[in-house]
Amino acid sequence: MSLTDYVLQRNERPRHWFWIHAWMPDRAKPYSWLRVLAVALICSALAAGVSSALFWFLFCGWFFGNGSGDMLRMLPWMWKVFAVLGATSGLIWGILSRLSWNPRAARIAADPATPERDATWPRRGFWRGSVPAAAYYVLIRLATPLLLFHAVENVRGMLAVRAMRAQLDKAGECYRLECVIPPPVPDAENFFATPYWRHFEYDRVTNGAGQNGGTIRWHDTNWMRFPGRLALPDAPKSETDRRTPHDGRTDLAAWAQEFRRYSTNQSAKWLREHLKELYPIPTTPGRPAVDVLIALSRNEPALAEFEAAAGRSKSRYPIHMQEGFGTLLPAFSQFKVATRVFGLRAVARLELGEVDLAARDVRMAFRIGEAVESDSFLIGQLVRYACDSLAMHALWEGMVDHRWTESHLKGFQASLSRLSYSDGIIGAMETERAIGNLEMERLAREGFRRILEIDRLGSNSSEDDWIQAPMALSVLLPKGWFQMNHVALMHGYQLILNAFREALRGPNQLEARSRVQGKWDPVDQYIQEVRSHPDPRTFVCGMLLPALSRSMDKTLRAQAAASLGMTACALERYRLANGKYPASLKELVPAYLDTVTLDPLNNEALHYRVTDEGWFQLWSVGLDRKDDGGVLHSYGKDGNPVGPNLDFPWPSPVKSREARLF
């Protein structure tokens, strides 16, 4: 059976025209372009309707059974895609029909005596008819439309990526990885060039073609056991359980008990084997601060390394940024652990009156956060915020007990006044964009396999059903759709970067930062649009952008905490000199502050008042930029925090169930 015979036969069968004889073409009349257009429209409508119905019954029923209706939002793009495929299939069939039908119609019209074939076509043999007919059907109805669709979408994707790159190049944006990889730092100047941190370094083993493979070669094969030298038990329940009022101070007795339990309790056998070296805490409890310092003595070798390297001017931890989302960061958890160890040791030393040593520990805790500032990853900046928060808590403990001297407080105040998170977070977002660009280029090459790898790595992926479904369907997606994801993601990164730059790097940073909410609106709108109208050409944005956008809130919170800490140091210096806290912040100028500290969130003075207990309340208005009376959270009937943060208050030593800023 030839293709022409197959096309003619199909057009002469009543069922091809839904048994509506009025629709069937006349053999002696040409197959008009109007009929071609009608066939294309009918095929488009049928494809859209059938695909939507199947989608509804086969997919939505399953997900509704699991309590999720998000899959319904996939219908708009799904029926459009199938409508286009149906229209393409109908158009191809109509054109082939016209090319096959019209020559015969012309012969019949020219010679009416020309015999016509019987309307009833002879029964086809299997090899002579059925197999070729099935092949023609697949070729015309499925393969050719799909190939054409892929070709068109691939061209669109390629042109979109070219336009995106041209636009970014014109704007002077450097979005490639080589722009964000920092230069190497000599070991003599590098805070992280110490034996402890070298244990976490690794290389990727290359294959025969010289390409990096998946095999990792650690510089120290025992690196997983090595962090035990700087480990701490879990925080005592007395510090984490908010069901009873707590004053926020470190419970040294509870810490000593935890050290002792991990060193003697049989239930901690695995941990003791993992740590290798038990905490050398006396079996018989003594003074809690002394017991804690004895337990922490097992960390002395690592802490001594950090103190020796503290004077180095630069910090550069080696990161394999070319691995994209697959980059391993095993040392990052140790940054927080090291800060916690220094902070806990500082509190124990304060309890014993070793104020100078405690101040040195607090400075080292801040030094670790300062070292992490140079990290190019967003996770590095978030770790820095956590490190600074832990260091701030140790500083606060010495302040509420009035342990610090004027010189200590003046040094802390100077350090806090220099804390700025603008450059670090903006640089991190530029790095995230460069890595996103690298990953999207890989995604266009590797498709479904790369999407599964990104999801497996947990790169801010969402658990929404509407994201998982496009991943499963991505085997059939055109390469151009991955390129359109590339363009959409880079657009989202640019919106976030523009908001960060305007909010944190304006001519007047404080004034610009106070307008952050307005600058962030386009980002929120874009993310909301992507998530509320899922589309396989933008679904990667739904996986990556929401978590990135929330980093602004964390940055502003960290900046507010730094401003509060600097002002609190000035208040304590005033108390040391005058025996009481000032009635207003204006009394700190100019002896203790050059100017009244402004709230980073609204460009107005921080809120302050002296309490009846002889302490003070100091707070920032928080992300909502409204004064809520210095309350961090609102609380429900069950006593648990509800809703977003309200204000950012400097912690009070008064016993309370309320959550604290740090």
pLDDT at residue 506 above 80? no
Element holding 270 (H helix, E strand): helix 269-275
Residues 599 and 657 grouped into a single domain: yes
What is the value of pTM for the model shown? Answer: 0.80
Q: Classify residue 59 by its DSSP letter.
A: I
Looking at per-residue pLDDT, the higher value among 72 and 330 belongs to: 330
Q: Residue 579: left if φ>0, alpha if ψ -120 to 50, beta else—which one?
A: left
Reported as half-sphere exposure (CB side, CA atoms, 13 A), residue 52 has a value of 18
Residues 595 and 648 grouped into a single domain: yes
The 3-state DSSP class for residue 583 equals: coil
Residue 68: predicted pLDDT? 42
Tokens of 310: 């503290």
pLDDT at residue 561 above 60? yes
216: β partners? 204
User: Once rounded to an integer, what is the mean pLDDT over residues 569-590?
Assistant: 95
Residues 20 and 125 grouped into a single domain: yes
Q: What's the CA gap between 447 and 478, in Å, rounded?
A: 9
Residues 25 and 94 grouped into a single domain: yes
The answer to whether the beta carbons of residues 534 and 587 sit under 8 Å apart is: no
DSSP β-ladder status, 634-635 and 641-642: antiparallel
Q: pLDDT-based confidence at 504, cuts 50/70/90?
A: low
The 3-state DSSP class for residue 278 equals: coil
415 domain residue, yes or no? no
pLDDT tens digits along 318-346: 888 888 877 888 888 889 999 999 999 99
- Interhelix angle 479-504/516-532, rounded to 10 degrees, is 160
Of the listed ranges 82-91, 152-161, 443-452, 537-546, the one predicted with least confidence: 443-452
Distance of alpha carbon 547 from the chain centroid: 4
Instruction: Identify the domain boundary among 128, 151, 167.
Output: 167
609: β partners? 617
For 65, residues 6+ apart whose C-beta sits below 8 A from its C-beta are none
The 3-state DSSP class for residue 205 equals: strand
pLDDT at residue 118 above 60? no
Selection from 484, 439, 430, 483 nearest residue 461 by Cα = 439
Of the listed ranges 29-33, 65-69, 175-179, 495-499, the one predicted with least confidence: 65-69
Residue 450: predicted pLDDT? 62
pLDDT at residue 516 above 70? no
Residues 70 and 156 grouped into a single domain: yes
203: β partners? 217
Q: Classify residue 606 by its DSSP letter.
A: P
Residues 538 and 616 grouped into a single domain: no
- Average pLDDT of the chain? 80
pLDDT at residue 393 above 90? yes
pLDDT at residue 577 above 60? yes
| Most confident range, picked from 240-249, 387-396, 518-527 | 387-396
Tokens of 12: 């002469």
Residue 90: predicted pLDDT? 87
Selection from 251, 245, 262, 330 nearest residue 289 by Cα = 251
Other Cβ atoms less than 10 A from the Cβ of 125: the count is: 10
pLDDT at residue 405 above 90? yes
pLDDT tens digits along 202-248: 887 765 544 445 577 777 766 655 555 677 887 887 777 766 778 88
Q: What's the CA gap between 519 and 189, in Å, rounded?
A: 39
Reported as half-sphere exposure (CB side, CA atoms, 13 A), residue 529 has a value of 10
pLDDT at residue 124 above 80? no
Residues 90 and 156 grouped into a single domain: yes
E strands of 563-622, at which residues?
607-610, 616-620
Reported as half-sphere exposure (CB side, CA atoms, 13 A), residue 259 has a value of 32
Residues 18 and 133 grouped into a single domain: yes
Q: What's the CA gap between 236 and 241, in Å, rounded?
A: 9
Share of the chain above pLDDT 90, in %: 30
For 323, residues 6+ apart whose C-beta sits below 8 A from its C-beta are 204, 212
Selection from 239, 235, 258 nearest residue 247 by Cα = 239
Q: pLDDT-based confidence at 505, cuts 50/70/90?
A: low
pLDDT at residue 6 above 70? yes
pLDDT at residue 477 above 60? yes
Q: What's the CA gap between 34 and 488, in Å, rounded?
A: 38
pLDDT at residue 570 above 50? yes
Selection from 499, 636, 622 nearest residue 560 by Cα = 622
30 domain residue, yes or no? yes
Selection from 284, 225, 298, 217 nearest residue 256 by Cα = 284
Residue 515: predicted pLDDT? 44
Instruction: Identify the domain boundary among 113, 136, 167.
Output: 167
246: β partners? 656
Work out the burial of residue 580: count CB atoms within 10 Å of its CB; fewer than 13 is exposed, 13-18 middle, 19 or more buried. exposed
Residue 75: predicted pLDDT? 60
Of the listed ranges 328-342, 356-370, 407-421, 466-480, the one predicted with least confidence: 466-480
pLDDT at residue 65 above 50? no
Identity at 66, one-letter amino acid code: N
Selection from 237, 243, 569 nearest residue 398 by Cα = 569
What is the domain range of residue 496? 426-549
Looking at per-residue pLDDT, the higher value among 437 and 517 belongs to: 437
Gyration radius of the chain over CA positions: 34
The 3-state DSSP class for residue 206 equals: strand
Residues 150 and 40 grouped into a single domain: yes
Q: What's the CA gap between 601 and 503, in Å, rounded?
A: 10
Give, in order, the Cα–Cα distances in Å from 194 to each of 42, 158, 187, 630.
72, 47, 8, 43
pLDDT tens digits along 190-212: 999 998 888 888 887 765 544 44
| Most confident range, picked from 101-110, 522-531, 614-623 | 614-623
49 domain residue, yes or no? yes
388 domain residue, yes or no? no
Q: pLDDT-based confidence at 63, cuts 50/70/90?
A: very low
Selection from 598, 511, 513 nearest residue 556 by Cα = 513
Looking at per-residue pLDDT, the higher value among 581 and 548 belongs to: 581
Of the listed ranges 167-171, 203-207, 433-437, the one predicted with least confidence: 203-207
Residues 64 and 134 grouped into a single domain: yes
Residues 15 and 77 grouped into a single domain: yes
Instruction: Identify the domain boundary among 141, 167, 193.
Output: 167
307 domain residue, yes or no? no
Counted domains in the chain: 3
pLDDT at residue 362 above 90? yes
DSSP β-ladder status, 634-635 and 202-206: unpaired
Residue 209: predicted pLDDT? 47
| Most confident range, picked from 289-293, 329-333, 494-498, 503-507 | 289-293
Residue 56: predicted pLDDT? 60
| Most confident range, picked from 305-319, 325-339, 498-512, 545-559 | 305-319
Full strand arrangement of the beta sheet holding 607-610? 607-610, 616-620, 648-649
402 domain residue, yes or no? no
Residue 42: predicted pLDDT? 86
pLDDT at residue 432 above 80? yes
Q: pLDDT-based confidence at 635, cuts 50/70/90?
A: low
226 domain residue, yes or no? no
Q: pLDDT-based confidence at 54, cuts 50/70/90?
A: low
Residue 230: predicted pLDDT? 78
Tokens of 478: 């055109």
Q: Classify residue 353 by its DSSP letter.
A: T
Q: What's the CA gap between 522 and 500, in Å, rounded?
A: 12
Q: What's the CA gap between 275 and 330, in Å, rounded?
A: 17
pLDDT at residue 101 above 70? yes
Other Cβ atoms less than 10 A from the Cβ of 192: the count is: 25
Residues 545 and 622 grouped into a single domain: no
Residue 291: predicted pLDDT? 94
278 domain residue, yes or no? no
Residue 229: predicted pLDDT? 65
